[in-house]
Amino acid sequence: MISDDLATGPFARTFAPVFSADAELPAPPALLTVYGADWCRDCRRSKAVLDVRRVEYVWVDLVAEPDRADEAKALTGRTTIPVLAFPDGDHLVEPSNAELCAKLDRAGL
């Protein structure tokens, strides 16, 4: 018998994340939080968009605070930066300028 269960069947992908309904997601931040590193071009670009738009945010430098990378990974399941965590619970990973501006517009920022 062939199972069509994508988590355990013959077509299962070992790299696909498995989400548990019981897993605790971190609470959304009170202020927009950006996880990144100064060496990261996309991080600098995202920060520049926020700065030009005069959006208040918390910068988490993952080089200075490597233990905080777990917070970003808990949100996204990935280890890519930048991660922008919004107070409404949404997050963006490596957004283009257009994607970031669209989200800021929707959030009224």
Q: Is residue 108 scored above 70 in pLDDT? A: yes
Domain extents for the chain? 33-107
Across the chain, what does the average pLDDT equal? 83
Angle at 38 between CA 33 and CA 43, to 5 degrees: 50
Q: 33-107 domain in CATH 3.40.50.10480?
A: no
End-to-end CA distance of the chain: 54
Q: Between the CA of residue 102 and those of 55, 87, 97, 105, 106, what are the distances in Å?
A: 14, 16, 8, 5, 6
Reported pTM:
0.75
Q: pLDDT value at position 86? A: 95
pLDDT at 25: 61
Examine the pLDDT at 19 and tell me if it is beyond 90: no
Per the model's pLDDT, the better-predicted residue between 18 and 31 turns out to be 31
Query: What single DSSP character describes residue 55?
Result: -
pLDDT of residue 16: 42
